[in-house]
Amino acid sequence: MLSTLNVFFTNICIIFLILSVTFYLMRNRLPIQYDSKRSTRLYFGFANGLTGILLMHNSISINGSLIDLRLLPLALSALYGGPVSIVTTGIILLLYRVLISGGESVSALQNSLVMLTGFTVLIILCAQLIKHKGRLFTVIVTIGSTLVLLRMLLGPSHPHAWQTIFLPYFLITIGASILFYHLSHMLQGHFVLYAYQSYLASTDELTRLANRHVITGKVKALVEAKAPWGVIIFDLDHFKAVNDQYGHAVGDAVLRHFSVLLTQECPDSITVGRYGGEEFIVVIPNTFTVSPTRLARQLVQSVTDTPFVMQDHALTITVSAGVAYAKNQAAGIVFKQADTALYAAKENGRNQFMLYDK
């Protein structure tokens, strides 16, 4: 009895460990649900398949059958990832069951494969018909336990198996299913909140662009790598007049409008951030592939060509920009050079960019 309990409690620890690590590694993809990206559901199914493999190595073998808590990873796949996750988990378990068959009899292996395949198919059907997560999980665990019971009844008798193995199995399965149903919701909710807080800590609240902390980290990495990087600092022209004439709500909307233009025009490799107030910054990590001056010219023109549309009329906005190339200087010096070039652009009439070339 104690050895049986030890095996099942080891199973519980394995499920908890893999589930926690999986949610942590996928924290930027959460929540996992039926309409999540296919890759997300495949990853989750793979993680549960890995859990099932570890459970097989910590199972009780009776007449060719492996008794463990394998149905719980399958149930979790159904609960969150739907058919894609279930099929992924099921295929992994089937293939691995064949690989470790060893000297088992053909009939014992066939029985195991038939039961696992049938269980996977039933789960898929249940997931299509039952939308309430709690009921779905309960039905899956009930079906799985029933199949295990039938296998036990139809298989060769084993002395004292009911008292030492089967009864503990059913009791722990019921308890573990309740535990992991609630625990999985808590873990996913925790990591969703963690990812959201991390996102808020790295983004500007108004524009959702990178904040100074992220910009500083990106630039520090470029300096350490001795990369050929460059920087553009933008400043919206006459922004104070917009706030004074139309109010701060419109001013905030103009800032968001400009941030969208920056994001659309800049390649994914470029870091776009808000420097403060109406100033924005663009960090180009490789000036050989993207020319800072060409990009600055393109962005200045794009802002002029894309007026900010209010309810009653369109408001034309312009922007000035300062460009600087890093030449093995400290990051602070490069930023000051870009700021100097920006000031020159404003002094020269605004709605243009200037390159620091001293």
Q: Provide the annotated active-site residues.
A: 278
Q: Which residues are within 8 A (CB) of 252 and not within 5 positions of it... i.e. 6 or more apart?
A: 206
Query: Rg of the chain over CA atoms, in angstroms?
Result: 30
| Structure letter (DSSP) for residue 203 | B
H or E segment to which residue 159 belongs: none
CA nearest neighbour of 136 among 247, 34, 239, 261:
34
Q: Which residues are within 8 A (CB) of 241 and not within 5 positions of it... i.e. 6 or more apart?
A: none
Q: Walk across the sheet containing 353-355 and list its strands.
A: 271-276, 279-284, 230-236, 319-325, 353-355
Between CA 150 and CA 59 the distance in angstroms is 18
| Structure letter (DSSP) for residue 157 | P
E-only strand ranges, the chain: 60-62, 65-67, 230-236, 271-276, 279-284, 308-309, 314-315, 319-325, 353-355
CA nearest neighbour of 26 among 96, 85, 110:
85
